[in-house]
Amino acid sequence: MDPIKTALCSFGMSGWVFHAPFININPGFNLYAVWERSKNLAEKKYPGVKTFTTLEDMLADEAVELVVVNTPNFTHYDYTKKALEARKNVIVEKPFTITSKEGNELIELAKKQNLKLSVYQNRRFDSDYKTIKNVLSENLLGDLVEVEMHFDRFKEELSSKVHKETPGPGSGSLYDLGAHLIDQALQLFGMPDQLFSDIRIARPISQVDDYFELLFYYKKLRVRIKSSYVVREPLPGYIFHGLKGSFIKPKTNVQEESLQAGNIPGGPDWGKEPDSEKGLLHTEINGKIIREYISSKQGNYGAYYDGIYQSIRNDKPLPVTAEDGVLVIKIIEAAYKSNESGKVIPL
C-alpha cells in the first residue's frame, strides 16, 4: 500500500477530532504535515508530523499529495484554489464554499488539473443516517408523504470559535449544521422542486442566525429540516411518515462524543449506538402491523477516508463529490432568498 501524504490546514477541533485520528490509523495515509502558526499541537500529539507556519510553504512541499482545507468557511474557496493550483488533491470541510459560483470554479479547476476534489460530509457515515437509509431501502414505510429532520442543540453561551459567531460570509447555523441536514435530504430525495425558509436569530446574545426551518417541496412529499440552539429537551432527529407506516429516530452523536473524549477510532464497537437510541418502527409488513424498536446500523467516519484512498489510488468514485457540495450551497442560497422575500423559491 502506497500511503497518501496528507496535510491539514489547521489543528483546531476539526483537525484534532474529525480528521487526524482517522488519517493516522488508516494505513493508506500518512499524516505528514499540519499548518499551525504557533502552537505546534499536532507535533505533540503525533510525533513526526511536520509543522508549517505558512500555507505557501506547506503547499510548496512536493511530498504533500492531499490537502485538507478545514479552516473557517470564508477561507474555503481561496485555500482550495491555492491547493489545486499547487497540484494537490483536496478535501474541503463542509460547507464547500460560500457561493455556488465559487464551488463551480473550483470544480473546473480540479478537472483542469486532473485532481480529486471532495467535500467532507461525515454525517453520511453516522449511525442514525445509515439506519434511515436502510429503512428506506427496504421500503418499510411505503411511499413517503412527510419527513422532518432535526439537528438541535441547547447553547446559552456563544461558541469559543469567534469566526462562527461573527457576522459575515458563511457564518450562521444554516451554513454550519444546515449543511449536514441539507446534504442528507438531497442524498435521500434529490433536489426539491421548490423551497420555503424561515431563518432567524433566537438567542438575544447571538449575532448570527441560530435557528432555521426549511421546507422542501417535492411532487408527493414534503421535507422539513430544522435546527435551533434553544432546544433543551431533545426532539427526534428523524420523523418519517409513509403510506404504510412511520419511523421515528433520535439524533445521535456517538462518534463525535467518543473522539472528543480522546478515544482512538476503530474496533468492533466503534460507531455503535446504545440500545436507548433505537428508532421506533410502526408499520405494516405483509398485512401484519408491526410496532417495534429496531437496531441501528454501525457508523464509521473512517469509511470516508477509505473512499478517498480508493479514489486517489485506484480512480474509484469519490465518497462525496464537489458537485454534491455545490448543490448544498445552491439550497442555502435559495433559502436566504426565500427568507428575505417571504416567498416560495423555485429550483
The DSSP element (H or E) to which 323 belongs, if any, is helix 322-341
Each residue's pLDDT, cut to its tens digit, for the chain (347 residues) gives 799 999 999 999 999 999 999 999 999 999 999 999 888 899 999 999 999 999 999 999 999 999 999 999 999 999 999 999 999 999 999 999 999 999 999 999 999 999 999 999 999 999 999 999 999 999 999 999 999 999 999 988 888 777 778 889 999 999 999 999 999 999 999 999 999 999 999 999 999 999 999 999 999 999 999 999 999 999 999 999 999 999 999 999 899 999 999 999 999 999 999 999 999 999 999 999 999 999 999 999 999 999 999 999 999 999 999 999 999 999 999 999 999 999 999 99
Do 4-120 and 123-300+331-346 come out as alike in CATH topology?
Answer: no
Q: CA–CA separation, 276 vs 289, rounded Å?
A: 23
DSSP 197-235: EEEE--STT-SS--EEEEEEE-SS-EEEEEEESB--SPP
Q: What CATH number matches the domain at 4-120, 3.40.50.720, 3.40.190.10, 3.30.1280.10, 3.20.20.80?
A: 3.40.50.720
Cα–Cα–Cα angle for 144, 142, 243, nearest 5°? Answer: 70
Q: What CATH number matches the domain at 123-300+331-346, 1.10.3720.10, 3.30.360.10, 3.40.50.300, 3.50.30.40?
A: 3.30.360.10
CB-based burial of residue 62 (10 Å sphere; 0-12 exposed, 13-18 middle, 19+ buried)?
A: exposed
How do the domains of the chain map onto residue ranges? Answer: 4-120, 123-300+331-346
Which residue has cell 512536493? 62
User: What is the pTM assigned to this prediction?
Assistant: 0.96
